[in-house]
Amino acid sequence: MIFEHISSGGCQSYLLGCEKTRAAIVIDPNLHQIDHYPFLAARHGLHIRYVLDTHTHADHFSAAREMGQKLNAGVVAHRLSPAPYAEFFLDDGEKLKVGDITLQTLHTPGHTRDSMCLVAEGHLFTGDTLLIGGAGRIDLPTGDPDALYDSLFHRVLTLDPALLIHPAHDYKGQGHSTLGDEIATNPRLQNRDRESFVAMMKGLDLELPAHLTEALRVNIHGGKPLFQLLAEASDRISFVSAEELSQEWGDAVLLDVRERDAFEAGHIPGAVNLPRGQLELQADRRLPDAARRIVVCCGTGEMAILAAATLRELGFVHTAALRDGLKAWQEKDFPLSRS
């Protein structure tokens, strides 16, 4: 079996490939690495046939939906996964064949209701059920410490201790471990009675993930995170810097898309105000020449990127955005007008 471990911050994903048929699967793909998986697969002469999430992630963005669409790969999840873009659902004991590789499913609720572990050729992919030196938190949506106790002590820990452990998260860069090592040393596995395990897990008092709401929106409903919207919009427009804008903008319209209050409190001299909420509705009246050059600005640059991409879509083909917005303009001590 061809095996690649891809680390992205604390998030871990895995590419498994069949040497004979060249079919491959990516386990827990991360949106920030979306271009890296096909690159790795191509380097090994593999075709990614499946992408699989071990559970609904609450702290990062799954690339499963995007990869499924772009690569025509089957999106796999547990039967209880709410993801509307999943096509193949596994339940406890079921097998997934990827070429000659067989992945055996273990339903291991606790971290989330739809958590599963997968066993394949001496490897155990544990998602966030069992981490190296830890266990998945139980305080996020659908978490349940009692269920995690059962999943760990009555399911995972009964497997072959020689299995290599590959978790979905590893914040300390430990790489991999064996189940036997975890049984011997993992602090979360030393409280072997249910009551003390549950009390310990409930008492962890962990900080909530930074992008919890956004990650659940993306991973459960199949939407896009903000960084992806901005990246896609950025690909469709051009940019000008504050220095370039200060030197000349010719006959361009400098369009400030903030709300009127913010505009009146301070704007680039010569700018006209069209709040983003009015953009599509007022574009033809306020910008009658679609061929004219437009530079869009806002406070920090992000709203201008989205607004400029909208104008491009509307047919204003020479639209650019002021990079980093008025923040960059003010950092250079360029003048502001108030009105």
**Nearest CB to Fe ion, comparing residues 38 and 134:** 134
Residue 231 beta carbon to Fe ion: minimum distance, rounded to whole angstroms: 24
Residue 233 beta carbon to Fe ion: minimum distance, rounded to whole angstroms: 29
CA distance 283 to 280: 5
Residue 54 beta carbon to Fe ion: minimum distance, rounded to whole angstroms: 8
C-alpha pair distances (Å), 147 with each of 129, 150, 184, 200, 300:
10, 5, 22, 14, 45
Tokens of 23: 């079919």
Q: Which long-range contacts (CB under 8 A, 24 or more apart) does 174-181 make?
A: 174/132, 174/133, 175/5, 175/132, 176/5, 176/132, 177/132, 177/133, 179/124
Residue 197 beta carbon to Fe ion: minimum distance, rounded to whole angstroms: 19
Residue 27 beta carbon to Fe ion: minimum distance, rounded to whole angstroms: 13
**Nearest CB to Fe ion, comparing residues 66 and 128:** 128
Q: How many residues of this chain bind Fe ion (CB under 5 A)?
A: 1
Residue 123 beta carbon to Fe ion: minimum distance, rounded to whole angstroms: 19
Binding segment toward Fe ion, per CB under 5 A, in 12-20, 125-133, 208-216, 328-336: 125-133
**Nearest CB to Fe ion, comparing residues 10 and 299:** 10
Tokens of 313: 């879509």
Residue 60 beta carbon to Fe ion: minimum distance, rounded to whole angstroms: 8
**Nearest CB to Fe ion, comparing residues 114 and 128:** 128
Q: What angle do CA 228, 231, 233 make, to 5 degrees?
A: 110
Site string for Fe ion, 70-109 (x = CB under 5 A): ----------------------------------------
Residue 55 beta carbon to Fe ion: minimum distance, rounded to whole angstroms: 6
Binding segment toward Fe ion, per CB under 5 A, in 101-109, 124-132, 145-153, 205-213: 124-132
Question: Cβ-closest residue to Fe ion?
Answer: 128
Write out the binding residues for Fe ion, residues 200-259 only, by CB under 5 A. Answer: none
**Nearest CB to Fe ion, comparing residues 99 and 110:** 110
Q: How far is CA 331 from the centre of its chain?
A: 32
28 contributes a contact to Fe ion by CB under 5 A? no
214 exposed, middle or buried (CB, 10 Å; 0-12, 13-18, 19+)?
Answer: middle
| 4 DSSP β-pair partners | 15
Q: What angle do CA 46, 49, 52 make, to 5 degrees?
A: 115
Beta pairing, strands 164-167 & 123-127: parallel
Residue 17 beta carbon to Fe ion: minimum distance, rounded to whole angstroms: 25
Beta pairing, strands 47-52 & 23-27: parallel
114 contributes a contact to Fe ion by CB under 5 A? no
Tokens of 9: 């911050």
Query: With contact defined as beta carbons under 8 Å apart, do 78 and 116 qualify?
Result: yes
First to last CA, the chain: 68
**Nearest CB to Fe ion, comparing residues 105 and 129:** 129
128 contributes a contact to Fe ion by CB under 5 A? yes
Binding segment toward Fe ion, per CB under 5 A, in 34-42, 126-134, 207-215, 235-243: 126-134
**Nearest CB to Fe ion, comparing residues 128 and 170:** 128
| 50 DSSP β-pair partners | 25, 74
Q: What is the dihedral of CA 184, 189, 195, 199, to 10 degrees?
A: 130
Binding segment toward Fe ion, per CB under 5 A, in 120-128, 206-214, 249-257, 287-295: 120-128
Site string for Fe ion, 165-204 (x = CB under 5 A): ----------------------------------------
Question: Which residues here bind Fe ion, judged by CB under 5 A?
Answer: 128
